[in-house]
Structure 1
Amino acid sequence: MRVLFVNPPVLPSGAVPPPLSIATLAAYVGPSCTSVRVFDGDLIFFDPAARTRHVLRERLTAELKEFRPDAVLVTSMYNNSAIAGLMMATVKAVDDTIKVLGGGPHFGAQPKETLRAVEYIDYVIAGEGEAGLKALIEAWVQGSDPSACPNLAWRENGAFRQNPKGELLDLSSLPNVWAASAGALNLQAYRDTISQTSPHRSIYTEAGRGCPYNCNFCAPAQFWDRRYRVKTPDQIAEELRYLHTAYGYDAFILVHDLLMVDPRFVRTLSKRIGDLRLPIRWMANSRTDLKHARDFDNLAKSGCWRLFYGVDSGSARIQRVMNKELDPDEAFDVVQSAVLGGVGAVCSFVVGHPEETAAELSASILLGARLKVAGAENVQFHRLRLFPPAPLAVGEKLTELLRNAELDETTLRLEYPLPEITAEERATIERNPRFYAGYFPPASKAGTAEEISQVELFFTQAIAFAPLTVYTLGQMSSVNIVELFQAHLAGYGFIDRYVFNPSDISIPRNWAALKTRLEAMAAAAELDVDEAALVSALLDYEDSRMRFVHRQPANSAAILWQDETAVTRSKVAVDRVIEAMLIGGRPDPSMRAEVTMLFKRGSDAVVVVG
């Protein structure tokens, strides 16, 4: 049995990560096959000149004719599912006797909708793929009836058929994924996409699956049946050792929906990684209410350089509505403690929940600004999207939320793996809102779908560049920061996503656009003279800092402007504003003062020298 795994392109930015789920499947079913191979569209699309349908079809056709697979399994994310359908059509055009299977976060979450929407697919592996795929391959090899295979869905005489789920996999039974899939996957080709100037060589590698919590917007927890499972610490440590010694990877994103849930496991894993005595580092997902996951000193000593926290809302009520149940104040304290303990933090918010008001969304934005000032490396705002099997995105709830939803063509175009979308592809997506629900954003009490999209775009970058200004303006404005922003959009127009690059927070052009809009928002905020002067002084300070950090020409406040050091004038005691933010206080005009600030390359410290 010859099996080809196909990873449709996702439009990578920068280095191409090896497809982890496909590598795991190839490693697991490889012993049951004569030969296994991986065709990765992302690796092809690493070359911008190759990002065309013609090249993709041509390369896949050549692969099919040379390898001659008996079965092709195509995985899918939501943004590459239409391209996955194109690749399936290519398979059938080359040889319509090849069995075509689908799986992954999209097809595997919606098997019935997939078989209805995707013409050239024969089978879908629903949910976790390893056991069902292995049983199916073995049935084909033995010539037995595959219809009893767990997790399998298919069409039969025009009707939909789906078998019951099998037992979830014992992850300790997995081999070293990267060593076992080496014959199918050329890791060196991925390693070679990393820039030689990059300080680290990063890779995603699996630590486990399943989050036991039940946030109503989250699809992965439901996909894995909310069962917390992990590989053994020895398995994980061995994969890290192998990847480092064989390929030079030294920064590991340990993939797990919520790895830090089990304190005994985390302690053992930290020790195993530390015992490797290799120059490597790792990061994982955590929650701010996991009291046992706050031993930041020991985590840092084991090489943990960053934790990802889904804070998700600054509103206690929305925390309850989302079924997240975090305390926003506790979340701030934990992130600050992590940073002080030597572990970086990335914080994420979900915005535009159907029940969220503008005031509650504003609370998230102001909390995000405080987290940035407390040392979070990155604060992200993500619009709520309807991805089954999240509780909000199934059954009658999904039907209700889609009732008046419209296709978000801007997001579709930004995420699409190809430079353009054909009219046929667009029409296919628009005709299938239940299948492509992620592109049909729900209404929110906080604003229209497009307004929430603009909040996501603007404030992710505004907080990266100007958290002091955003926070102070939000505290002093006569209306909340979201209402102020919406009024600004009404007067100045929406931000063009194609000009204002949402994927790169280091572009000076973006800062120029941000600064102009922040100035306009401040002018409309009904501030008194002293308040307006404070906001203006903060924006000037953040302009100076942005210019230094991103090696741009100095502004008129500069006294000394060198590559490693700069000295600049400021009309605000920035340290006092930061002190107020760290306690959730309100900056006030008394914080205005003529001071001199020192910037040093590589340091985030705020240094007042006079």
Structure 2
Amino acid sequence: MRVLLIDPPRSTKALGLGEDKLGLLYMAAILREKNIDVRVYDAHIENNPFKDLKSLLKKYKPTIVGISIYTPTRFDAFKAAKLVKHADKETLVVAGGPHVSSAPRDTLENIKEIDIIVVGEGERVFLEICNSVAEKKSFEGIKSIALRKEGDILINARCEPIKNLDSLPFPARDLLRKYKHKEKSKYHFNMQMPDREIIKLSSTCIITARGCPFNCLFCAVPELWGRNVRLRSPENVISEIKHLKEAFDVDSFQIVDDTFNISRKRVFDICSVILKERLKVKWHCHMRVDNVDREMLVIMKEAGCFITYIGIESGSQKILDQVIGKKITLDKVRKVIGWCDELGIKRSCNFIYSLPGETREDVAQTIALMKELGGKQPFGPTMILPGSRIEKIAKEKGIMPKDFSWSRISPYKYYDPTSNSFLPIFVENLTWNEILDIFYKHITWQSTMRTKNYIFRILYRLLQIRSFTEAKLIFYNYFNFLRVFFRNLKKQKRKGAKTFKK
């Protein structure tokens, strides 16, 4: 048996990204422990086109292909599945990842090239699929999968999550060329921070916990990992950090937990061991402000944390409390930002708008807070993701069609025109033109690197039109983009950037 695990190529080139896909690497490690021939093809990291995938399929002739599917890149993943079946229709195509975990029925109803979907945590489930293929057994009894049966879609009950994360082997990073050959230039990518400094960020990822106890409006993480948080022991995390240094000369990484500081004690335990062992590493992480104090930030800084990403989302306390369910206060936001600046920890704060019930005054408060915090903070309209609370609200209010399919280009017309992802935008109180006006005005406030990235994506996107329906949506949005963008450029020349007014 030969297994190929794929993070698919991109139709639209991405600038500056390329983090490790830990889901694929964990599964590869599990399979390798069972002496299964497995390869990992991360086309995003290697910047490989679809033609290279065709060549690999022809040479390797896999028995099973596993494809990681995220909502922003779902159409590229569907294209990869079609390539697999075109190469050999007998190859079993198994899809996993956040998107299909949240929309298994929609995917199987519309993407005939996908045979099985792994719903949620994938390592042990995928191994069970491989064993069933080897033993020529039926898949129907495997928990946490969705598949077709006699013209219907069968979605099996979820299996119990892996309770002891320390029992998992470290991700099989050596199956990626950049680690196997220690191509250190691919260990990092450039990113322009809110203060306009361009820094190198590590593409090497470590996950120290799974699950999120919170229920933010826009997030679908619980669909993948669940609401119960499972933690790796500090000793296991430190062992992986040492392994990265010894095996691959990696001295910087990003912790990709949804919330690294979910446990105060655990943050102190991990940081204390890093200091005790004198590991001399640099890292960055995501955290929530409600679980932070100055003492925590001090030991994080001493242990090598130099950047933290904070989801603030809104400058309106009403929106944070009544709409998002964020459970943070703006007073605490200001304290944490002050501590980060005092200690020299760079911070990037994420903001969104066009939320349910959000007024123009709420948006004005968000922009005012962004200006107060300084720099060029990430800011964009609220995207709807499958499985999120906001998707349910959008359908209940008739904003999204109830029969909306994530697997087709829908006639729903409110999409980010600079993106190839066709992620729908929530449109309620603000008009579409107002949403675009804020968005494109913010592009002119963004960092130079971000602005160039947007322009590049817009131009490249014109070459990727796949259907008449898609063409109509793109040109409708680009008309608005050009109108707003050039109008704001003219205003900037005369008066400089203006804040959004109600």
TM-score by length of 1: 0.67
Instruction: Kindly provide the CA deviation profile for residues 39-84 of structure 1, in whole angstroms up to 9, marking residues without a partner as x.
Output: 22214536xxx5xxxxx1x322221222121100111122221121
1:337-348 mapped onto 2 (5 Å cutoff): 337-348=339-350
Q: SS in structure 2 opposite 1:386?
A: coil
Give the letter aligned to residue 441 of structure 1.
Answer: I
Using a 3 Å threshold, how does the CA distance of structure 1 residues 172 and 195 change in structure 2: closer, same or farther? Answer: closer
Query: Partners in 2 of 1:123 and 1:205 — Cα distance?
Result: 28
Q: Is the 8 A contact 2:414 2:424 kept in 1?
A: no
Tell me the residue number matched to 1:459.
Answer: 442
1:204-603 mapped onto 2 (5 Å cutoff): 204-291=205-292, 295-320=296-321, 321-372=323-374, 379-394=377-392, 397=395, 400-403=398-401, 407=412, 411=416, 414-415=419-420, 439-445=423-429, 447-459=430-442, 462=445, 495-496=481-482, 515-516=492-493, 518-519=495-496, 521=498
Instruction: Kindly provide the CA deviation profile for residues 330-358 of structure 1, in whole angstroms up to 9, marking residues without a partner as x.
Output: 21122111221232211111211021001
1:141-160 mapped onto 2 (5 Å cutoff): 141-160=134-153
Using a 3 Å threshold, how does the CA distance of structure 1 residues 365 and 121 change in structure 2: closer, same or farther? Answer: same
Q: Is the 8 A contact 1:309 1:348 kept in 2?
A: yes
Q: SS in structure 1 opposite 2:348?
A: strand
Q: Is the 8 A contact 1:202 1:250 kept in 2?
A: no
Displacement of 1:34 in angstroms is 2.4
Q: SS in structure 2 opposite 1:253?
A: strand
Using a 3 Å threshold, how does the CA distance of structure 1 residues 196 and 400 change in structure 2: closer, same or farther? Answer: closer
Displacement of 1:449 in angstroms is 3.1
Query: Partners in 2 of 1:455 and 1:444 — Cα distance?
Result: 15
Question: What is the CA RMSD across the aligned residues, in angstroms?
Answer: 3.2
Tell me the residue number matched to 2:6.
Answer: 6
Give the letter aligned to residue 385 of structure 2.
Answer: F
Unaligned runs of 5+ in 1: 51-55, 417-437, 466-492, 501-510, 526-610
Larger Rg: 1
Displacement of 1:517 in angstroms is 6.8
Query: Partners in 1 of 2:117 and 2:492 — Cα distance?
Result: 49
Tell me the residue number matched to 1:168.
Answer: 161
Query: Partners in 2 of 1:344 and 1:196 — Cα distance?
Result: 17
Tell me the residue number matched to 1:86.
Answer: 79
Query: Partners in 2 of 1:301 and 1:314 — Cα distance?
Result: 30
Using a 3 Å threshold, how does the CA distance of structure 1 residues 15 and 313 change in structure 2: closer, same or farther? Answer: closer
Unaligned runs of 5+ in 2: 191-198, 403-409, 449-478
Give the letter aligned to residue 24 of structure 2.
Answer: I
Give the letter aligned to residue 393 of structure 1.
Answer: E
Query: Partners in 1 of 2:432 and 2:492 — Cα distance?
Result: 24
Give the letter aligned to residue 165 of structure 2.
Answer: L
Q: Which residue among 57, 70, 82 is the counterpart of 2:63? A: 70
Query: Partners in 2 of 1:518 and 1:134 — Cα distance?
Result: 61
Q: Is the 8 A contact 1:72 1:101 kept in 2?
A: yes
Displacement of 1:283 in angstroms is 1.6
Using a 3 Å threshold, how does the CA distance of structure 1 residues 227 and 453 change in structure 2: closer, same or farther? Answer: farther
Q: Is the 8 A contact 1:386 1:440 kept in 2?
A: yes
Instruction: Kindly provide the CA deviation profile for residues 195-230 of structure 1, in whole angstroms up to 9, marking residues without a partner as x.
Output: 799766542222222221111211113432112122
Tell me the residue number matched to 1:590.
Answer: none
Q: Is the 8 A contact 1:392 1:398 kept in 2?
A: no
Using a 3 Å threshold, how does the CA distance of structure 1 residues 132 and 314 change in structure 2: closer, same or farther? Answer: same
Q: Is the 8 A contact 1:365 1:459 kept in 2?
A: no
Q: Is the 8 A contact 1:263 1:293 kept in 2?
A: no
Query: Partners in 1 of 2:414 and 2:389 — Cα distance?
Result: 25
Query: Partners in 2 of 1:406 and 1:128 — Cα distance?
Result: 32
Give the letter aligned to residue 136 of structure 1.
Answer: I
Q: Is the 8 A contact 2:284 2:307 kept in 1?
A: yes
Tell me the residue number matched to 1:40.
Answer: 42
Give the letter aligned to residue 235 of structure 2.
Answer: D
Instruction: Kindly provide the CA deviation profile for residues 3-60 of structure 1, in whole angstroms up to 9, marking residues without a partner as x.
Output: 10111134332363332221122112322352000122214536xxx5xxxxx1x322
Tell me the residue number matched to 2:179.
Answer: 187
Q: Is the 8 A contact 1:372 1:464 kept in 2?
A: no
Using a 3 Å threshold, how does the CA distance of structure 1 residues 15 and 242 change in structure 2: closer, same or farther? Answer: farther
Q: Is the 8 A contact 1:209 1:228 kept in 2?
A: yes
Give the letter aligned to residue 42 of structure 1.
Answer: H
Query: Partners in 1 of 2:387 and 2:415 — Cα distance?
Result: 24
Tell me the residue number matched to 1:606.
Answer: none
Query: Partners in 1 of 2:443 and 2:334 — Cα distance?
Result: 17
Q: Is the 8 A contact 2:352 2:380 kept in 1?
A: yes
Q: Is the 8 A contact 1:23 1:185 kept in 2?
A: no
Instruction: Kindly provide the CA deviation profile for residues 246-276 of structure 1, in whole angstroms up to 9, marking residues without a partner as x.
Output: 3333321101111201111111111122233
Q: Which residue among 78, 91, 95 is the counterpart of 1:102? A: 95
Using a 3 Å threshold, how does the CA distance of structure 1 residues 107 and 60 change in structure 2: closer, same or farther? Answer: same
Q: SS in structure 1 opposite 2:309?
A: strand
Q: SS in structure 2 opposite 1:108?
A: helix
Q: Is the 8 A contact 1:441 1:449 kept in 2?
A: no
Query: Partners in 2 of 1:310 and 1:159 — Cα distance?
Result: 40
Tell me the residue number matched to 1:112.
Answer: 105
Query: Partners in 2 of 1:303 and 1:463 — Cα distance?
Result: 28
Instruction: Kindly provide the CA deviation profile for residues 302-325 of structure 1, in whole angstroms up to 9, marking residues without a partner as x.
Output: 111122111111111111221112
Query: Partners in 2 of 1:138 and 1:326 — Cα distance?
Result: 46
Identify which of structures 1 and 2 has the higher relative contact order when contacts are C-alpha pairs closer than 8 Å and 6+ apart: 2
Using a 3 Å threshold, how does the CA distance of structure 1 residues 69 and 93 change in structure 2: closer, same or farther? Answer: same
Query: Partners in 2 of 1:273 and 1:147 — Cα distance?
Result: 46
Query: Partners in 1 of 2:415 and 2:223 — Cα distance?
Result: 28
Query: Partners in 2 of 1:4 and 1:415 — Cα distance?
Result: 26
Q: SS in structure 2 opposite 1:277?
A: coil
Q: SS in structure 2 opposite 1:74?
A: strand
**Which is further off, 97-106 or 244-253?**
244-253
Query: Partners in 1 of 2:62 and 2:257 — Cα distance?
Result: 32
Q: Is the 8 A contact 1:223 1:389 kept in 2?
A: no
Q: Is the 8 A contact 1:3 1:70 kept in 2?
A: yes
Q: SS in structure 1 opposite 2:308?
A: strand
Query: Partners in 1 of 2:368 and 2:349 — Cα distance?
Result: 13
Tell me the residue number matched to 1:469.
Answer: none
Using a 3 Å threshold, how does the CA distance of structure 1 residues 355 and 518 change in structure 2: closer, same or farther? Answer: farther
Instruction: Kindly provide the CA deviation profile for residues 546-568 of structure 1, in whole angstroms up to 9, marking residues without a partner as x.
Output: xxxxxxxxxxxxxxxxxxxxxxx
